[in-house]
Amino acid sequence: MNAAAATERSAPTAAATLTLADAADGSRVLTLAGRLEAYSIAGIWPEARAALVDAPTRRIVIDAAAVDYCDGGGVAMLVDLLRQPRSSGAAVAVRALKPEFQTLLDQFDPHAFTAPAKAPPPQTNAVEEIGRATAQLFRDMRVQVAFIGETTEALWYAVTHPHRIRWKDVWYECEQVGANALPIVALISFLLGVILAFQAAVPMRQFGAEIFVADLVGLSILRELGPLMTAILLAGRSGAAFAAEIGTMKVNEELNALTTMGLDPVRFLVVTRILAALLMVPLLSLFANLVGVLAGGLTMLSFNIPLVTYLKEVDSIVDLKDLMAGLVKTPVFALLIAGIGCLRGLQTETGASAVGISATRAVVSGIVLLVAVDGIFAVIYYILDV
């Protein structure tokens, strides 16, 4: 806290003054004058406290006859002086405070404020910490398994009773997750294509092998980068949005309202979002593939490779199997993004920061799981020789 800044921001007020004197009977006299309020007493408060501490064995008289005004702040200063521990015979007394201010002071018992305001936080030892963390981990796992179960059941119900699905909500979510994400997906995959092509073309040109950039860009975008980058983008965009929306609903007791209406929040909120993600993530990935490959082709124009040549080369090396190897992953990614976003939303606790925490957790765990699952797919494809 900067004193100058505080003075500048505070309302203009007259100063409060403190004068120290020693009386003939050996007591110390603190004479207060002026306006005692929170803005004016910052200077004299520590001084007055120090004057008390300096004279532990003498009687202290606080002469308040010249105090023109005293509000809660001023009263707090007097209470602070009165509550200081003193040896017997060295009491502190306030004298000649105007009656209207004395009434304010009389509302408080100074000694009620001597104890510390807060109990010290309970000490926990390392073993207890480990135990708590482990128990928490198991609770989290149980919640996650239960969520997977509930979601599967709700999805199965949706598949067997398609007329019960809230299609209006699904289309709305499709617009949010899919259509509205097109510009960012286009931009990122375009840049990805350009960067890949450019980074590869510079060294390959030394061997006159620029044309093989088409193979590299085509394979890596279709098999890996198109779907993965789209999924990571959506985890940041829609995963966080799901967690925040459902989290806010939980904080506002809208989830409780659904439950007491006999409506299952998972069926109502989670299924629609998962369906929207399942529909949109493959389409967005396909779109990202197209933009990425085209961006590579446009980059190769600056290396004197015509677009037709580039596309023919892509066509010769990439087949349907490669495209499908990428697209097969997208429904799994969609399940992860929407599932984790909704789960984190449902796990939201109370308070203003809780929604933010849920959104953060949705993005972090979403991205970690996406990359991990992509790795698992790579191993499976290797074993299956896809």
Partner 1 sequence: MNAAAADSEAIVRVEGLVAGYDGNVLLQDVNFAVNRGEVFVILGASGCGKSTLLKHMIGLYQPMAGKVLIDGEDIVSAQGAARRAILTKIGVMYQSGALFGSMTLLENVRLPLEEYTALDLPAMDLIARMKLKLVGLEAFCGHMPSEISGGMQKRAAIARAMALDPRILFLDEPSAGLDPITSAELDALIRRLAGSLHITFVIVTHELASIYAISDRVIMLDKRAKGIIAEGDPKVLRDTSDNPWVRQFFRREAEAPVETA
Residue (114 or 259) nearer to partner 1, CB? 114
Residue 10 CB, shortest distance to partner 1, in Å, is 5
Q: Which amino acid is at 115?
A: A
For 226-241, letters b (16+ CB in 10 Å) and e give: bbbbbbbbbbbbbbbb
Residue (80 or 264) nearer to partner 1, CB? 80
Applying CB under 8 A, does 6 fall inside the site for partner 1?
A: yes
User: How is residue 386 written in tokens?
Assistant: 């896809």
Residue (1 or 383) nearer to partner 1, CB? 1
Residue 146 CB, shortest distance to partner 1, in Å, is 25
Question: In the window 348-367, what residues touch partner 1 (CB under 8 A)?
Answer: 350-353
Give just the sign of the alpha carbon dihedral 84, 87, 89, 90. negative
Looking at 8-16, 85-93, 189-197, 231-239, which segment touches partner 1 (CB under 8 A)? Answer: 8-16
Given 20, 27, 59, 80, the residue binding partner 1 (CB under 8 A): 80
Applying CB under 8 A, does 78 fall inside the site for partner 1?
A: no
Residue (1 or 126) nearer to partner 1, CB? 1
Given 37, 210, 245, 313, the residue binding partner 1 (CB under 8 A): 37
Residue 113 CB, shortest distance to partner 1, in Å, is 6
Applying CB under 8 A, does 53 fall inside the site for partner 1?
A: no
Question: In the window 81-140, what residues touch partner 1 (CB under 8 A)?
Answer: 100, 103-104, 107-108, 112-113, 117-119
Question: In the window 129-188, what residues touch partner 1 (CB under 8 A)?
Answer: none
Given 30, 32, 41, 335, the residue binding partner 1 (CB under 8 A): 41
The site that binds partner 1 (CB under 8 A) totals a number of residues, namely 40
φ, ψ dihedrals at 20, nearest 5°? -105, 140
Given 28, 45, 210, 279, the residue binding partner 1 (CB under 8 A): 45
Looking at 1-9, 212-220, 227-235, 263-271, which segment touches partner 1 (CB under 8 A)? Answer: 1-9
Given 28, 39, 58, 177, the residue binding partner 1 (CB under 8 A): 39
Tell me the Cα Rg of the chain. 35
Residue (105 or 240) nearer to partner 1, CB? 105
Asked if 285 contacts 233 with a C-beta cutoff of 8 angstroms, the reply is no
Binding footprint of partner 1 on the chain (CB under 8 A): 1-3, 6-12, 37-39, 41-43, 45-46, 71-73, 75-77, 79-80, 100, 103-104, 107-108, 112-113, 117-119, 350-353
